[in-house]
Structure 1
């Protein structure tokens, strides 16, 4: 069990960190070739800061990378809640890999009626709901 009470789940021989992450993988499987990608890479790693001296390297480990042939199309992370560390790593990733689209995805039917929305959309909806109260 993780710090957010998510349980690992196995699907087609792959282990996912949560049920929601596995559900999004299944969604991506159904979108193969439709949305301009033909391969889903699991848990891709991107170096943010190299190892130096006794310091370990810092990496951004995403949930998925979408590829079309040899072209990286998009990097995706499924988020329920973003920690300060995750936000900082995402900023460094976006700075270092400016040609790569990074998307944080959330499952939010309660708020929107949609199955999947971006984390930014979810934050906007939450702010609007808070203003209404």
Structure 2
């Protein structure tokens, strides 16, 4: 049951993130790009830069912000998956970056959405 609740929270967060990103001028290209070594929640283009976006949704701030959850291990997995995407799309020479969207969902309140552009650099594999 807890896993289903978590999946629903994540899906709701990704929907909210997409809405916010589009309002900020991002063009959503893909959602949930999955490979055996990782997943990227959203791939978008913003001002001609390919953006690999990790969305972290929380129901409380008891475990820190969503930004805190993007550990170096997670960054390595995102880097590897992003390189796979760029290779398959033949866009290795195209500008790209990693953004993180942190969302706090609390009962009877509007979602708090924060976007951190260039959240981290590509981690060498």
TM-score range, shorter chain: 0.3 to 0.5
TM-score (norm: length of structure 1)? 0.46
Name the structure where strand makes up a greater proportion of residues: 2
